[in-house]
């Protein structure tokens, strides 16, 4: 997931920030976005390597505790444990003494490859693996240097273990004793990293650092922040996106005890009324008693049924071409009996993290301070500064861990930060916590867009596909943002985030034609965990299942046969899955298995599920996953992400797993009508198998999400004879 | 008819002595029955409208009114055939997978009273009443597909003393008049969005009245189709 | 605004709130016990679960005015509770949490289950925990952790 850039004025972001795209040795494409002023670099020249001073990332306290600063928001994905693990391993730290803290917004904490501070695209490990290894190794080298000096020996006469430097003749010194001397030494420019056989933590199942505090109520999330004099703000938002306040009757609202102020603020689109009180309940009571007259003229009132009808029509016509391989008319030569035609519908999805959007801002006029569960601190800090008329460096921007995100907190327009800033602007001196109630959060937009796919597959005499013709219809949240990112992601009017999973299909289709329509709809949309793969992999893997069934092939064998030669991780994960899912050939009556695989940003996941139908719903008895993510940094964390991501991917199969609109209004407001998976919906048993690998680690937060829904409906086909192409799955 | 026979005493007087004796006995029996019926009609609850017994037709009409209340959302949402209650006027399955449990009171960590207190919580939108729980499965008024049962089926269930906690007519009337969870249906409180929940199609008084008329008619049930 | 006397984690506390204010917000804002979380406000997610009079209760739905003298126990007291401690240790040992936001509620529900059914079947677990939402999808590990805690309880550690 590559977020688009909103160029902000008066900020560190240069209007002419440029992009250098470099192909990695593995053949993947990484975008390096450099936001330094143009004079500092030339297009085509390699960027100057950034130096990360260890002392900005590691603190060794006198009592031996080691605090490692993590340059990523912790949203549950485990970066707050994995990155310290990596650093601590190279550092030879005593892991039992290690704790982590989240880095505030800061130059040094930018993603070393992407160039802004952010999480997204499951890139925490891949992009900071090397960085944190070097930080650990450099710190170790400085500590050894300090010890060597103290003892009058050479560095190579020393070794380290568990936060202690050992020298010749039984000498030893704890890291805590050496820190003062060590920090005075320059950090070495080059360090020796461990070989894999020397890892003590990397590659081992290591438990999370933040578990205990999250199990005893002591861990503080953003919503838990309590500051003296803090005020609570709620927003009354327009019922249709882009609506504006025409008038407000707040007499009753102002009478609620504890209410401080009520005023209008601009939204990114439209306007809202802020209600500020000293307690949440007072703010809510006041907001409930307010009558707002909304001007909803001049804006589109989207309707889901109408949109699906419109998209279905569009899908019948070719759009902007995304893939043109071979002969685009080859499909027409294939007799109808050897063709499959399928139309798919995917609804809007809400991220619905357990912790609804909230953040706290204090406006001190010539400075500001903010506490935010922030997915993109660089942009948000700049946006906050812009609204308050400050420079970003005048904003102290703390990053607090988040109760989930799945992409919701990674907006391109920093909307909730702008809203909080607009409120704080009116109330200087007081920390103002803007809270979205669950209803606000669910109706606030920024959904995974709805999509319609229309696919025609032509099959050859050997049962293998000869031609694949595919039209995709769905909104782009990148086009029109006018940022350098747009130049990378959008080609020929096609937003890659809408086609990934199709345009990078691992299967061989001699003839392939993919085109896309990106309608403009008055519903804000956003990256949602696994982005384009969430729907594209569903289409691809269910059609693959149809092809395999027609060809009377085992679904894994069919895929292996069809894989492109260079689809290495698909091959390894499918092969491992085959080995670990022998149970699919020994199923009880009324149980069936289904297979699907997907990649996300160079990690591949293959999945087999065992399904029966209970009470007219799919009951998933078992899921077996095989994942190839290169070097498995923390197998325990990978297992956790695989198990959790599978459940997240089930959301779009739930009977009430859709956001719908009628007359411009979002119809769902809470978990009563938008019901994500609960425990009974989740697989009863999940076993995860990791392909052994020494290659560069790739991320795992998003890769499992796209595989579960197609695997389940592929299994359902074997039970009901029906293909399920319209989500959510309301009936089986 | 009995009275008319009594007034034509001359017919018996002109009959043969044995026949007279038989006729006299029959008359006595018939008169006794008639008197008994009259006594019964005095003993049962009286309607406001006149002193006559309820006909089957009247009873069935009253039952239809009762049925209209029993099958309205505020009542039928807890008279399910499944292991879950329903919610809302559209009778969706209750959110958060709440379950019936062994005694219709939920399961250990998710009881009815985990959310439903003894009175409505209008500020939060949680309805409440004394001893909030599901009606037993014997008193289901829907099928396992959440389809409302027919008038005949519901009537049979409600009048079956092996299923309805052994309630007779007066017992049913008392249940409809006094049971707290029944009364709740007419004061169902506010939803989380502060809107008022809808009430059954009759007032409680009308419901009790219809029940009374139905009971007076002998609790007739419509024929199954 | 009215002042109520409530018993929280064994201590008597006075809170001055609107009579309709949910117990959840009194705990979080007046008593600064932020371990109990706000997830939805309508009782659909379980993040706000406390024990009220011994019953696992969704505190976002119960106005303070309805609490009365029923004792309230929150997640913060689980460290002192023999079953709570075992559950918490089980959660940590099996690396259950991801973002962790729902876990206070999950643990409170699990403790209520285990106090009532020390040896729950898989069906018991699914029924009692089936109303607690976790968007990170940690359900598999939650099941395992409850089984592990139950085995510990069975082993006589009280």
Tens digit of pLDDT for each residue in A622-640? 999 999 999 999 999 999 9
Element (DSSP H or E) covering residue A561: helix A555-562
Give yes or no for C106 touching B (CB within 8 A).
no
pLDDT digits (tens, 9 = 90+) for A667-721: 999 999 999 999 999 999 999 999 999 999 999 999 999 999 999 999 999 999 9
Q: Is the peptide bond before A728 cis (omega within 30 degrees of 0)?
A: yes
pLDDT digits (tens, 9 = 90+) for C62-113: 999 999 999 999 999 999 999 999 999 999 999 999 999 999 999 999 999 9
CA B114 to chain CA centroid, Å, is: 30
Over 60: is that where the pLDDT of B10 sits? no
Find the residue in C nearest to A354 (Cα): C39
Q: What residues contact A139, with CB distance under 8 A and at least 6 apart? A: A54, A58, A87, A91, A182
Average pLDDT over residues A168-189: 94
What are the structure tokens assigned to A727, written together?
A: 């989500």
Residues in chain C within 8 Å Cβ distance of A216 = 35, 75-76, 78-79, 88
* pLDDT attached to residue A674: 98
Of C75, C110, C139, the position where a domain reaches its end is: C75
More confident residue, C118 or A5: C118
* pLDDT attached to residue B27: 57
* pLDDT attached to residue A150: 96
3-state SS of A28-55? CEEEEEECCCHHHCCCCCCCCCCCCCHH
Shared-domain flag, residues C18 and C44: yes
pLDDT band at A415 (very low <50, low <70, confident <90, very high): very high
Its ipTM equals 0.98
* Residue C55 to residue B114, Cβ atoms within 8 A: yes
Reported pTM: 0.91
Give me the residue from C60, C62, C128 closest to B109, CB to CB.
C128
* Residue C138 to residue A437, Cβ atoms within 8 A: no
Shared-domain flag, residues C108 and C64: no
| Residue C71, domain CATH | 3.10.20.30
Of C21, C48, C75, the position where a domain reaches its end is: C75
Residues in chain A within 8 Å Cβ distance of C40 = 438, 670-671
Shared-domain flag, residues C115 and C141: yes
Please report, rounded to a whole number, the percentage of residues in chain A having pLDDT higher than 90.
90
Shared-domain flag, residues C102 and C137: yes
Shared-domain flag, residues C70 and C86: no
Average pLDDT over residues B40-44: 49
* Range of the structural domain that residue C17 is part of: 2-75
pLDDT digits (tens, 9 = 90+) for A282-294: 999 999 999 999 9
Q: Which of A479-483, B131-135, B200-204 has the lowest mean pLDDT?
A: A479-483
Over 60: is that where the pLDDT of B163 sits? yes
State chain A's mean pLDDT as an integer: 92
Over 60: is that where the pLDDT of A253 sits? yes
Interface of C with A in 116-145 (CB under 8 A): 122, 125-126, 129-143
Shared-domain flag, residues C7 and C70: yes
Closest CA to A357 of A469, A237, A437, A461: A437
Average pLDDT over residues A341-363: 98
Shared-domain flag, residues C88 and C140: yes
Interface of C with A in 69-108 (CB under 8 A): 74-76, 78-79, 88, 91-93, 95-104, 107
> Cβ-count burial of B224 within 10 angstroms (0-12 exposed, 13-18 middle, 19+ buried)?
exposed
SS3 A307: helix
State chain B's mean pLDDT as an integer: 85
More confident residue, A2 or A191: A191
Over 90: is that where the pLDDT of A309 sits? yes
Do the strands A320-325 and A511-517 form a parallel or antiparallel pair, or are they unpaired?
antiparallel
Instruction: Judge contact between A725 and A717, C-beta under 8 A.
Output: no
* pLDDT attached to residue A211: 97
Give me the residue from C22, C57, C129 closest to B114, CB to CB.
C57
Which residues share a beta bridge with A372? A399
3-state SS of A388-451? HCCCHHHEEEEECCCCCCCCCCCCCCCHHHHHHHHHHHHCCCCEEEEECCHHHHHHCCCEECCE
Residues in chain A within 8 Å Cβ distance of B95 = 671-672, 675
Give me the residue from C20, C75, C132 closest to A217, CB to CB.
C75
pLDDT digits (tens, 9 = 90+) for A486-525: 888 999 999 999 999 999 999 999 999 999 999 999 999 9
Shared-domain flag, residues C64 and C96: no
Report H helices in chain B: 2-7, 9-14, 17-43, 56-70, 73-76, 151-159, 169-178, 180-184, 204-216
What are the structure tokens assigned to A146, written together?
A: 């300090």
Q: Which of A209-213, A692-696, B42-46 has the lowest mean pLDDT?
A: B42-46
* pLDDT attached to residue A2: 35
What are the structure tokens assigned to A404, written together?
A: 């989930």
Shared-domain flag, residues C8 and C24: yes
Shared-domain flag, residues C85 and C68: no
* pLDDT attached to residue A65: 97
Shared-domain flag, residues C43 and C25: yes
Give me the residue from B109, B117, B119 closest to C129, CB to CB.
B109
What are the structure tokens assigned to A414, written together?
A: 């920093």
* Residue B192 to residue A670, Cβ atoms within 8 A: yes
Shortest Cα distance from C69 to chain A (angstroms)?
Answer: 22
Over 50: is that where the pLDDT of A9 sits? no
pLDDT digits (tens, 9 = 90+) for A52-105: 889 999 999 999 999 999 999 999 999 999 999 999 999 999 999 999 999 999
Shortest Cα distance from C116 to chain B (angstroms)?
Answer: 6
List the domains of chain A with CATH numbers. Answer: 1-49 (no CATH), 50-206 (3.30.365.10), 222-298+357-435 (3.30.365.10), 315-349+447-720 (3.30.365.10)
* pLDDT attached to residue B47: 46
Instruction: Judge contact between A372 and A400, C-beta under 8 A.
Output: yes
**Which phi and psi angles does A676 have, rounded to 5°?**
-75, 175
* pLDDT attached to residue A481: 87
Over 50: is that where the pLDDT of A27 sits? no
Instruction: Judge contact between A573 and A600, C-beta under 8 A.
Output: no
Interface of A with C in 375-414 (CB under 8 A): 401-404, 406
Which residues share a beta bridge with B106? B111
Of C46, C75, C104, the position where a domain reaches its end is: C75
Which residues share a beta bridge with A345? A452, A726
pLDDT band at B54 (very low <50, low <70, confident <90, very high): confident
Give me the residue from C18, C19, C55 closest to B111, CB to CB.
C55
* pLDDT attached to residue A488: 87
Residues in chain B within 8 Å Cβ distance of A671 = 95-96
Average pLDDT over residues A336-343: 97
| Residue C124, domain CATH | 1.10.150.120
Chain B positions contacting chain A at CB under 8 Å are 87, 92, 95-97, 192-194
Shortest Cα distance from A618 to chain B (angstroms)?
Answer: 15
* pLDDT attached to residue C2: 97
Give me the residue from B95, B97, B194 closest to A672, CB to CB.
B95
Chains touching B, CB cut-off 8 Å, 3+ pairs: A, C
Our CA angle for A200, A204, A209, nearest 5°, is 95
Average pLDDT over residues A197-202: 97
Find the residue in B nearest to A674 (Cα): B95
Closest CA to A71 of A98, A115, A97, A108: A108
Find the residue in C nearest to B94 (Cα): C44
Average pLDDT over residues A649-659: 97
Angle between helices C103-116 and C139-154 (to 10 degrees): 40
Q: What residues contact B172, with CB distance under 8 A and at least 6 apart? A: B158, B159, B164, B211, B215, B219
Over 60: is that where the pLDDT of B52 sits? no
The domain tally of chain C equals 2
Closest CA to B193 of C25, A255, A234, A668: A668
Shared-domain flag, residues C102 and C68: no
pLDDT band at A49 (very low <50, low <70, confident <90, very high): low
* pLDDT attached to residue B35: 54
């Amino acid at each position: 997931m590559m977020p688009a850039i909103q160029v902000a004025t008066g900020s560190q972001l240069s209007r002419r920030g440029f992009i250098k795209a470099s192909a990695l040795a593995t053949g993947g494409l990484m975008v390096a976005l450099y936001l330094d002023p143009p004079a500092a670099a030339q297009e085509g020249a390699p960027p100057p390597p950034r130096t990360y001073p260890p002392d900005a990332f590691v603190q060794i306290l006198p009592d031996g505790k080691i605090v490692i600063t993590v340059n990523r928001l912790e949203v549950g994905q485990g970066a707050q444990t994995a990155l310290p693990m990596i650093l601590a391993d190279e550092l030879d730290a005593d892991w039992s003494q290690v704790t982590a803290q989240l880095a505030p917004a800061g130059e040094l904490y930018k993603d070393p490859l992407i160039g802004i501070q952010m999480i997204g695209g499951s890139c925490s490990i891949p992009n900071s693996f090397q960085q944190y290894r070097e930080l650990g190794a450099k710190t170790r080298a400085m500590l050894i240097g300090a010890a060597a000096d103290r003892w009058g020996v050479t560095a190579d006469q020393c070794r380290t273990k568990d936060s202690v430097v050992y020298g010749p003749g039984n000498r030893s010194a704890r890291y805590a004793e050496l820190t003062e001397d060590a920090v005075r030494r320059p950090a070495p420019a080059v360090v020796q990293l461990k070989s894999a056989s020397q890892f003590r933590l990397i590659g081992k199942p290591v438990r999370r650092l933040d578990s205990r505090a999250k199990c005893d109520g002591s861990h503080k999330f953003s919503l838990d922040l309590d500051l003296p004099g803090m005020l609570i703000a709620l927003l009354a938002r327009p019922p249709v996106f882009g609506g504006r306040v025409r008038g407000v009757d707040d007499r009753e609202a102002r009478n609620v005890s504890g209410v401080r102020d009520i005023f209008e603020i601009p939204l990114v689109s439209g306007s809202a009324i802020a209600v500020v009180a000293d307690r949440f309940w007072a703010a809510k009571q006041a907001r409930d008693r307010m009558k707002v007259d909304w001007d909803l003229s001049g804006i589109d009132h989207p309707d889901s049924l109408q949109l699906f009808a419109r998209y279905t029509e569009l899908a019948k016509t070719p759009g902007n071409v995304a893939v043109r391989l071979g002969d685009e008319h080859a499909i027409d030569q294939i007799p109808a009996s050897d063709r499959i035609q399928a139309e798919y519908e995917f609804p809007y999805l809400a991220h619905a993290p357990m912790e609804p959007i909230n953040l706290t801002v204090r406006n001190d006029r010539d400075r500001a301070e903010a506490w935010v569960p922030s997915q993109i601190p660089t942009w948000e800090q700049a946006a906050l500064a812009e609204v308050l008329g400050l420079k970003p460096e005048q904003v102290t921007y703390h990053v607090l861990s988040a109760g989930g995100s799945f992409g919701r907190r990674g907006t391109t327009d920093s909307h909730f930060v702008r809203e909080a800033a607009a409120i704080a602007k009116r109330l200087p001196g007081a920390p103002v916590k803007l809270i979205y109630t669950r209803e606000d959060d669910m109706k606030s937009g920024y959904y995974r867009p709805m999509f319609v796919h229309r696919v025609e597959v032509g099959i050859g005499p050997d049962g293998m596909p000869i031609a694949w013709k595919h039209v995709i219809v769905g909104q782009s949240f990148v086009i029109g943002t006018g940022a350098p990112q747009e130049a990378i992601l959008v080609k020929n009017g096609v937003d890659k985030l809408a086609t990934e999973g199709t345009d990078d299909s691992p299967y061989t289709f001699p003839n392939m034609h993919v085109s896309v329509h990106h309608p403009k709809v008055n519903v804000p949309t956003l990256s949602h965990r696994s982005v384009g793969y969430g729907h594209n992999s569903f289409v691809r893997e269910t059609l693959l299942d149809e092809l395999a069934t027609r060809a009377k092939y085992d679904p894994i064998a069919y895929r292996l046969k069809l894989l492109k030669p260079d689809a290495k991780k698909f091959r390894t994960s499918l092969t491992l899955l085959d080995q670990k899912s022998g149970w699919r050939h020994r199923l009880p009556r009324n149980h069936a298995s289904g297979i699907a695989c997907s990649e996300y940003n160079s990690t591949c996941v293959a999945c087999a599920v065992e399904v029966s139908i209970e009470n007219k719903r799919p009951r998933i008895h078992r899921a077996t996953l095989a994942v190839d993510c290169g070097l498995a940094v923390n197998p325990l964390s990978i297992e956790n992400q695989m198990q959790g991501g599978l459940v997240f991917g089930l959301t779009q199969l739930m009977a009430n797993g859709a956001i719908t609109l009628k007359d411009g209004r979002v119809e769902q407001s809470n978990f009563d009508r938008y019901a994500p998976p609960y425990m009974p919906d989740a697989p009863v048993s999940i076993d995860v198998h990791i392909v052994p690998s020494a290659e560069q680690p790739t991320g795992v937060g998003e890769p499992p999400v796209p595989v579960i829904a197609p695997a389940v409906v592929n299994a359902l086909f074997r039970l009901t004879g029906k293909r399920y192409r319209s989500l959510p799955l309301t009936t089986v | 008819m009995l009275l008319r026979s009594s007034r034509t005493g001359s017919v018996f007087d002109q009959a043969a002595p044995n026949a007279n004796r038989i006729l006299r006995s029959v008359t006595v029996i018939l008169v006794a029955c008639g008197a008994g019926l009259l006594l019964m009609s005095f003993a049962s609850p009286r309607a406001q409208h006149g002193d006559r017994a309820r006909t089957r037709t009247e009873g069935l009409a009253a039952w239809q009114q009762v049925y209209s209340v029993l099958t309205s959302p505020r009542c039928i949402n807890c008279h399910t055939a499944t292991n879950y209650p329903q919610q809302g006027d559209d009778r969706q399955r209750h959110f958060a997978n709440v379950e019936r449990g062994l005694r219709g009171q939920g399961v250990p960590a998710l009881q009815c009273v985990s959310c439903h207190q003894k009175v409505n919580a209008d500020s939060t939108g949680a309805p409440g009443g004394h001893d909030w729980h599901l009606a037993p499965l014997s008193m289901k008024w829907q099928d396992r597909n959440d389809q409302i049962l027919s008038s005949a089926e519901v009537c049979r269930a409600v009048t079956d003393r092996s299923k309805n906690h052994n309630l007779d007519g007066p017992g049913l009337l008392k249940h409809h008049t006094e049971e707290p969870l029944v009364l709740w249906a007419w004061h169902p409180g506010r939803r989380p969005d502060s809107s008022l929940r809808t009430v059954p199609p009759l007032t409680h008084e009308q419901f009790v009245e219809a029940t009374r008329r139905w009971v007076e008619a002998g609790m007739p049930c419509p024929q199954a189709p | 605004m009215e002042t109520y006397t409530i018993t929280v984690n064994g201590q008597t506390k006075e809170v001055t709130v609107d009579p309709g204010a949910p117990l959840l917000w009194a705990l979080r804002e007046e008593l600064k016990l932020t371990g109990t979380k706000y997830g939805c406000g309508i009782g659909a997610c379980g993040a706000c679960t406390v024990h009220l009079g011994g019953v696992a209760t969704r505190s976002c739905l119960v106005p303070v005015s309805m609490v009365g003298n029923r004792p309230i126990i929150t997640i913060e007291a689980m460290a002192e509770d023999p079953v709570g401690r075992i559950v918490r240790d089980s959660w940590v040992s099996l690396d259950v949490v991801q973002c962790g936001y729902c876990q206070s509620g999950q643990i409170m529900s699990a403790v209520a289950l285990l106090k009532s059914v020390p040896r729950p079947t898989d069906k018991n677990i699914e029924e009692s925990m089936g109303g607690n939402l976790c968007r990170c999808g940690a359900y598999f590990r939650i099941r395992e952790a409850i089984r592990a805690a139950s085995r510990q309880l069975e082993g006589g550690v009280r």
